[in-house]
Structure 1
Amino acid sequence: MYFNKDNFIENYEKVAGQLDQVAEIAKQLQQKAYKKIFLLGSGGAYTKYVDLRPLLFKKLNVPFLITSPEELVSQYLGELNEDTLIIAGTKTGTTKELLSALTAVRKNCEKVTVLGFVGDDDTEIDHLNLLDYRISSVDTDVHLILFGWFILNYAGISTAKMKAELLGLGTKIGQTLTDLQEQAKAVVYAMELERLQMWVASGHAWGEVCCYCNYILEEIQWIQAQGIHASEFFHGPFELVADDFQVNVVLNTDSNRQQDLRVAEFVKNHTSAYTIVDMQDFALEDLSSEVKEFVEPYVLNHYFDLLLRIYVERTGKSAQTRRYYRKMEY
């Protein structure tokens, strides 16, 4: 078994147990009437923000910017003041770039508010007293369920129905991912490891596809991978497609679906080495549209983690076999 359903459900329950706390934090921050929000992180944290860019744009009435720690300091440090909210994400709480950036923020303007999503407990970021508010991400850097719930509450549109939907999801998602294990194994073992993989997506699936290509395939598995937005596929990348070119398309269930289907139709007609990951197969159709916007990328994230576990079996490469990342100074 590649997926531990019991462990997944246990972690999800830890997340669900924080919904009221997150709602209270959002309510407190909402009352401060911030004039700008910076979403701060690198790697997986950065792409979690990209996942929810459509939701952020539609629900927030405050200007926001997704930025890396280095960019925040070099470009925007002088723009920070008491009307600024920084939402920072980190799994380990030890990312040097993030700690350095937040230390610079504190020195430049003590009145900036910093909310942290932190995956591990009792970390360096906690000991440095860089956070005004803290949410436990349990098993990741920025937990999409809690981040999405925070946004809905900060925007003042959360409902008891939405909360009930989230409370009941752990077992359902766990079973769905369990049922997809054989399909996921077929996806991994169909790939030729020495050749480029192209992954195409859009909407709230786009951030997860970027994360999968950059950090799972390239960083951990050393497999060349290219993430392409569906709206850009016909502006260059589709010319690479030949009979055995490896193309994988993720189909949204939202308004971007027709765009994704157009890509999938082309791919089916021009290569035999394709995979279609349809978010309709994850059985999330009964969710409110706002909740689905962050639950779908959350589920896709765990599906890609499932693919990674199968790759580890096939290649022997894991997060512990990286050549450079946290192995040397760079």
Structure 2
Amino acid sequence: MKIEHVNQIAAAVNAVKATSVKNFYFVACGGSMASLATGDYFLNREISIPSRVYTSNEFVHVNPNGLGEGSVVILRSHSGTTPETVEAARFAREKGAVTIAVSMEVESPLCKEAEYTVHYNYKDGSDVIDGETGVYYSLIFGILNAVAPNEKYERVIKQLNQLENLFETNKKNTYDQAFQFGSDYKRDKLIYTMGSGAYYHQAYSFTSCLLMEMLWIHSNAIHTGEYFHGPFEITDYDVPLLIIKGEGPTRSLDERAITFAQKFSKKVEVVDVAELDFTGIDEDLKEYFGPAVAGAVLRQYADGLAEHTGHPLSVRRYMWKMDY
């Protein structure tokens, strides 16, 4: 990892370590919020300090009662220009919280508004370790190790060096399946996605950012634990469902949903995280690396749809083209 990233992460982690932390808030919009939510899941799994995910505008309007000194607010915007997130950083800092901005653009309004900046590289030839996943994971597990030292967190940080190989290997191994999915589902105007645990956030991101924003395909992210509490009534032979079968404690929820869905729909696509390649990752750490690897694989599914529908992922109708 580049020294600038190491120093930025160290400064942010040390700030958390020097704080009597009473709560964490993860604040962003869209795909950035889904990315941060993985960190929220890890913290909730590992420590007793409460944390919560907010979409940026709601965070400011709700004004959480627990926000103030002792709060750590982690914010993310890819460009660093998302107005709602910039305002959330200013708001949190005024309340006395430790604010940490995660962004591609170190000179962006978000990074200037927050007290600490963690910058990642993007499409500049850098290794994955210096990209958004490697940098964010280093921050989260650095924070975990600061507030509740554990050799497990140190191993996660060391094994992040395997990320690039994991991404490339699993993308290669799932390429045919992903592009066949694109061919099979190219005429579907609606595709539901499902997942649980940390993978629910991947389902949400795939639904909101890739299917709806980039491909203009109607969708909804359904938690597999909630599937039988209403949403399963839409299941029918021609209803497409993409289901992430996670690696971790909520896998049984996914298995139950898959079993039912496959009885009544002929269009169930399963991405089984346990079948992905985790070479170089300790068995007890797969739960932490799985969401990142699944995200890389799901992006390839979107590429398959883009290829077969002729709809480039870069096309927008409204975003960045008008005031809204």
TM-score of Structure 1 vs Structure 2, range by shorter chain: 0.7 to 0.9
Corresponding residue for residue 302 of structure 2: 308
> Measured at CA, do residues 315 and 131 of structure 1 come closer, stay the same or move farther in structure 2, by a change above 3 Å?
same
Task: List, as ranges, runs of 4+ consecutive aligned residues in structure 1 with deviation greater than 6 Å.
Answer: none
**Equivalent in 123, 127, 130 of residue 108 of structure 2:** 123
Q: Spell out, residue by residue over 1:289-320, the C-alpha distance to the aligned partner (whole angstroms, 9 max, x if none).
A: 66433321111111122222233322333343
1:83 and 1:148 mapped to 2: Cα distance? 17
Bigger relative contact order (CA 8 A; separation at least 6): 1
1:211, distance to aligned residue in structure 2 (A): 0.8
Q: Are 1:156 and 2:145 matched, yes or no? A: no
Q: Name the Cα RMSD after superposition.
A: 2.6
Contact 1:220 1:321 in 2 (8 A): yes
Query: Given the two structures, how large is their TM-score scaled by the length of structure 1?
Result: 0.84
Report the number of matched residues: 313
Moved more, 34-43 or 71-80: 71-80
Q: Spell out, residue by residue over 1:52-82, the C-alpha distance to the aligned partner (whole angstroms, 9 max, x if none).
A: 4432112233222211221222121675433
Corresponding residue for residue 234 of structure 1: 228
Corresponding residue for residue 238 of structure 2: 244
**Equivalent in 9, 26, 33 of residue 39 of structure 1:** 26
Moved more, 83-92 or 265-274: 265-274
Q: Secondary structure at the match of 1:321?
A: coil
Q: Spell out, residue by residue over 1:133-155, the C-alpha distance to the aligned partner (whole angstroms, 9 max, x if none).
A: 21123347675533442343233
Query: Given the two structures, how large is their TM-score scaled by the length of structure 2?
Result: 0.86
Moved more, 319-328 or 149-158: 149-158
1:21, distance to aligned residue in structure 2 (A): 5.6
2:116 and 2:4 mapped to 1: Cα distance? 17
1:206 and 1:42 mapped to 2: Cα distance? 16
2:198 and 2:136 mapped to 1: Cα distance? 11
> Measured at CA, do residues 41 and 125 of structure 1 come closer, stay the same or move farther in structure 2, by a change above 3 Å?
same
Contact 1:50 1:206 in 2 (8 A): no
> Measured at CA, do residues 147 and 210 of structure 1 come closer, stay the same or move farther in structure 2, by a change above 3 Å?
farther
Corresponding residue for residue 145 of structure 1: 137
Q: How does 1:163-312 map to 2 (within 5 A)?
A: 163-284=157-278, 287-288=281-282, 291-312=285-306
Moved more, 211-220 or 288-297: 288-297
Corresponding residue for residue 6 of structure 1: none
Unaligned runs of 5+ in 2: 123-130
> Measured at CA, do residues 21 and 181 of structure 1 come closer, stay the same or move farther in structure 2, by a change above 3 Å?
same
Contact 1:199 1:226 in 2 (8 A): yes
Q: Spell out, residue by residue over 1:257-296, the C-alpha distance to the aligned partner (whole angstroms, 9 max, x if none).
A: 1221111111222221111110012222863466433321
Q: Secondary structure at the match of 2:113?
A: coil
Corresponding residue for residue 47 of structure 2: 60
**Equivalent in 97, 105, 119 of residue 136 of structure 1:** 119
Unaligned runs of 5+ in 1: 1-12
> Measured at CA, do residues 225 and 290 of structure 1 come closer, stay the same or move farther in structure 2, by a change above 3 Å?
same
1:97, distance to aligned residue in structure 2 (A): 1.1
Contact 1:176 1:282 in 2 (8 A): yes
Letter in 2 for 1:120: E
**Equivalent in 97, 108, 112 of residue 112 of structure 1:** 97
| Identity, % of aligned positions | 20
Contact 1:47 1:210 in 2 (8 A): yes
1:274 and 1:65 mapped to 2: Cα distance? 32
**Equivalent in 64, 69, 82 of residue 56 of structure 2:** 69
1:19, distance to aligned residue in structure 2 (A): 5.7
Corresponding residue for residue 7 of structure 1: none
1:156, distance to aligned residue in structure 2 (A): 2.2
1:79 and 1:161 mapped to 2: Cα distance? 32
1:162, distance to aligned residue in structure 2 (A): 3.0
Q: Secondary structure at the match of 1:40?
A: strand
Q: Spell out, residue by residue over 1:227-259, the C-alpha distance to the aligned partner (whole angstroms, 9 max, x if none).
A: 111111112222221222212211112121122
Moved more, 134-143 or 201-210: 134-143
